[in-house]
Structure 1
Amino acid sequence: MSHPDNTYSLVADIGGTNTRVALADGRRIVDGTVRRYSNSDFPGLESVLKRYIADEDGVDPIAACVAVAGPVRDGRAAMTNLDWTIDKETLGRATRAETVAILNDLQAQGHALDHLDPANIRSILTGPEPKNNAAKLVVGVGTGFNAAPVFDLESGRMVPPSECGHANLPIRNEMELRLCQFVSTAHGFPAVEDVLSGRGLERVYAFFGNEADDPRERAAKDIMTACANGSDERAVEAARLFTRILGTVCGNLSLIQLPFGGVYLVGGVARAFAPHLSTFGFGEAFRDKGRFAGFMSNFAVHVIEDDYAALTGSAAHLVALSN
C-alpha cells in the first residue's frame, strides 16, 4: 500500500543475522509494515533500506533511525558480527530522510522501555516498587552479548553505549576455569560473549563433550529444543551452566549500575531461555554476592518478549530528537 510522504519515520534493527525494518508513526510501529531481511542476501545496509522502500511502494520517510549490533562513534557504526559499516551519510542517501540517527542496538532497547506492552514483559525476579526515574539496565543476549544502563534525567532519557560483551568472562570455580581455558584455546580470549550468546551456548555444549571425551556439536536452537523436551542430558547441563553464568554476569552489572528500576533481558537467546531461568538457577547465581546477597533483592529482573522492541526504541528516540 502507498504511504503519505514525509509523514512516517523509518526504523531498522540490524542484527548479526537479520535486519528488521518498519515505519513508525511517532512511537507507534505502523501495523503491517515490519519486514525482515537476511543480511547474507545484501552487500550492505543501503541496499537493504532501498529494497524496503521499494517494497513499501517508494515510501518517503521524514526521519530514519537504525539500531546497530556494534559500537557507534561520531555517527558511524561498525558491526561486531557483520562486515558492514554504517554512517549518517549512507543512511540519509538510502532513505532521503531529513533527520537521521544511528544507535547501538542496546541503546534502542533502552529507549523502548516504558513504551512496550506489559503483556510482552515476563518477570523472572521480583523487587521493590521502583521510584520514578530509577535507573534501569538492559542486557542483550542473542547473536552477541551487550548491556547498557538507562537513565531518566530532567533533560530526557540517556542510554550510554557499551561493549561489555567483550570484557573478560568471570570465573567462580574450577569448572568455569576449564570452560574459559576451552574457549581461549578455540578463540584466543575468554570474553563474556564467547559463552553468553547463541554461539556461546554451542561452545558450552562442546565443552561438556570435551570434558566427557565424547565430542559432539549441536546448533543452539537444537540444544534449546532438546533441553525443553529432555531428550539430551548434555543439552540440559549446558543450558544450566549457561544460565548460572548469565546470572553471575547480570549480578555483576547490577552492582556496577544499580538499576533500581529493573534489569531487562532482551534478544532471541534471552527469550528462548526465559522459561528455564528460574529452574536452572539464574536467581541464585544473580544474588550470590556474599554479604551483598540481600542487597541484590533490590533489583527485579524481567525478559522482554517483544521481538520488535528495538524498532519501538528507535522510534521513541526520533520523537525525543524532535522535541
Structure 2
Amino acid sequence: MEPVESSAGRVRAFIRLGRPKFLVQSMMVVGLGVTLAVHDGHAFRPARFVLTLLFAWCTHLMTHYCNEYFDLEADRANAAPTGWTGGSRVLVSGLLRPQVSLGAAFVLLFAAVGLIAAMPTAGARAVAAVITALSWFYTAPPLRLNYRALGEAACAVVLYGLGPVLARTLQAGAPTGADLVWVGAVCALQFLRMSVMNLADIEGDRRTGKRTLAVLLRPPGLTRLYLVGQLVVAGTAFALAVTGAVPWSGALAVAATGPIAAWVARRLLAGALERSETANAVTFWASVHLPLTTCAITLSLFAGQPVRGAWPAVYGVALAAFLVWLAGAVRGNLPRRTS
C-alpha cells in the first residue's frame, strides 16, 4: 500500500473512503426511473437525466462519507468486516483523519442542495429534499435512523424507492400506478438486502449499542424475514401479472434473478455469515441482486414496448458500464486457489 503521507496515497485513501463501487446502484436506479417515463410515452429529456444522475451520485457519496464518520465507533468494533460491509476501513486504519470524511460529507450536502435548487418543479424538489434528509440522518444525529432499527427502511426508500420516482418525476411528472409496482418491488428487495448487510455487522453493532433489525431480530429471525420477503415480492409480481395489472415480462424479470436470492437464503440458513471465508460472497451477491433485478425490470419495459429516440442508446452505455463493473467484481470475489 502506498504510504498515506504521499499526496497520491491520500487521494487513493479518500476515494476508497467514498466507496464508489456502490454508485452503480444509483446509476441503474436512475435508469429505471427514466425508462418508466419513456415507456409511458414521454420524450426523453437528456438534461434532466444528467441532473438526476448528478444528484443521485452526489447524495450517494454524501451518505458514504457521512456514514464513515458517524459509524466509526461501530466500524472499529467490527472485527470481521467484508468487502461490502463494515465501512471502507480507511478511518479505522488511520489512513485519514475522521474530520476529512465529515468535511467531504458537508461539501456534498451543499452540492446536493444546489442541485435541488436547479430542479425545475416543486414536486421534484420536494422528493429530492426528502432523499437528502433521509440520507444524511441515516447515521447522523439527532435521528441516527440506522441506530433505531429504521436504517433498512430508510435506505430502501431513499435509493430504490424515491430514487426512481425522482428520475420519473423530472422526466415526465408523477409516476403511474403501474410504475409504482416496479418501484415497490425493487424498494422491498433493497430493504431485505440491507437487512442482510446489517446482519453481517451484527457483532460490532451489538457492542456499540447500534440497534439494527439484525440486532433486534437476531440471525434466525432476520433470515426468516429475508426468506419470506423474497417469496412475497416474487409472489406479488406474479399475482399482479395474472390479474393483468402488470405485464408478464416484468414478473418474469423479477423471477429471473430469483436464483441469486435463493442462493443467498441458503447460505444464510447454513450460517455462512458467521465464517469469514464465506461471508464476503454472501454480502456480495446480496448486493448484486438489486442492480441485476433493476436491470432486468428495465429491459422488460424495453421489450414490452418499443422505445424510440436517444434513451435506448444512453441506457445501453450505462448498462454496458455496469456489466463491465460486474464482471470485474465477480472476478474479484471468486475464491482464490492456493498452491
Q: What TM-score do the two structures reach when normalised by structure 1?
A: 0.29
| Larger fraction in helix | 2
